[in-house]
């Protein structure tokens, strides 16, 4: 989960821990509280698995900074993690699903559509469940629980509407692609190149120079 996010962020450019945290917070902050207590251990795990490497150690200013870079092995791992959709929690868990969605640009269109439809089905099922259970809930709930319950349903419906839009877009795209008119969509023109604001890679010394 965190590892997927880290690898996805490091695909953009090499970063050190603090920067990585800021980047991930910016990217996924709305759906996730990323803490150092999990980030650093995760980085170490990834390093042990050769998925990332310590690219540079910048000593000039402030404290040492260890700049991490994704390796080819890491790229491969990213792809696997991203497309690993065997477990149902990949659909069920709203955070996991959103994380994947944030990296949809790296995913096969067919898999994208499949995931979206799976998720839609799951949410629709849940909504139906809730509507069914609603009657028994009426009797035993106070107004607060009832309100919470109704609000959840509303959020669910909003989620479903949103997924419907995404699915429609994806279908349209696939249809056009099949017709051989592979016109690229907004946001994908650059392929995998997602460059950031003015920050260039600062002067750095190779780790074992």
Interface residues with a second copy (CB under 8 A) are: 26-27, 30-31, 33, 93, 98, 101-102, 104-105, 126, 130, 133, 136, 139-149, 151-152, 154-155, 158-159, 162, 165-166, 185-188, 194-197
Among DNA, a second copy, none, residue 208 binds (CB under 5-8 Å by kind): none
Let me know if 7 is exposed, middle or buried by CB neighbors in 10 A (0-12, 13-18, 19+): buried
Residues of this chain that bind DNA (CB under 7 A):
1-3, 16-19, 22, 32-38, 40-42, 45, 61-66, 87, 89, 93
Q: How many CB atoms lie within 10 A of CB 112?
A: 20
When the beta carbons of 72 and 197 are compared against a second copy, the nearer one is: 197
Distance in Å, CB of 54 to a second copy, minimum: 26
- For residue 141 the two structure tokens come to 């709930």
When the beta carbons of 41 and 132 are compared against DNA, the nearer one is: 41
Distance in Å, CB of 180 to DNA, minimum: 41
Distance in Å, CB of 57 to a second copy, minimum: 27
Among DNA, a second copy, none, residue 87 binds (CB under 5-8 Å by kind): DNA
Among DNA, a second copy, none, residue 135 binds (CB under 5-8 Å by kind): none
- For residue 92 the two structure tokens come to 């069920």
Among DNA, a second copy, none, residue 24 binds (CB under 5-8 Å by kind): none
When the beta carbons of 2 and 77 are compared against DNA, the nearer one is: 2
């Amino acid at each position: 989960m965190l590892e997927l996010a880290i690898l996805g962020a490091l695909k953009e450019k090499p970063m050190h821990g603090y920067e990585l945290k800021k980047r991930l917070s910016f990217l996924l902050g709305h759906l996730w509280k990323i803490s150092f207590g999990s980030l650093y251990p995760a980085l170490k795990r990834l390093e042990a698995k050769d998925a990332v490497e310590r690219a540079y150690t910048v000593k000039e200013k402030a404290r040492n900074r260890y700049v991490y870079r994704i390796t080819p092995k890491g790229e491969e791992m990213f792809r696997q993690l991203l497309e690993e959709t065997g477990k149902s929690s990949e659909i069920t868990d709203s955070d996991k699903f959103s994380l994947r969605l944030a990296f949809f640009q790296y995913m096969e269109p067919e898999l994208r559509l499949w995931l979206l439809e799976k998720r839609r089905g799951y949410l629709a099922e849940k909504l139906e469940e809730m509507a069914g259970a609603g009657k028994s809930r009426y009797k035993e709930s106070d107004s607060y629980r009832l309100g919470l319950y109704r609000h959840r349903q509303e959020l669910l419906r909003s989620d479903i509407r949103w997924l419907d839009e995404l699915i429609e877009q994806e279908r349209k795209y696939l249809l056009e692609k099949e017709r051989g008119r592979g016109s690229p969509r907004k946001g994908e023109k650059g392929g995998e190149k997602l460059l950031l604001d003015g920050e260039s890679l600062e002067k750095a010394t190779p780790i074992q120079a």
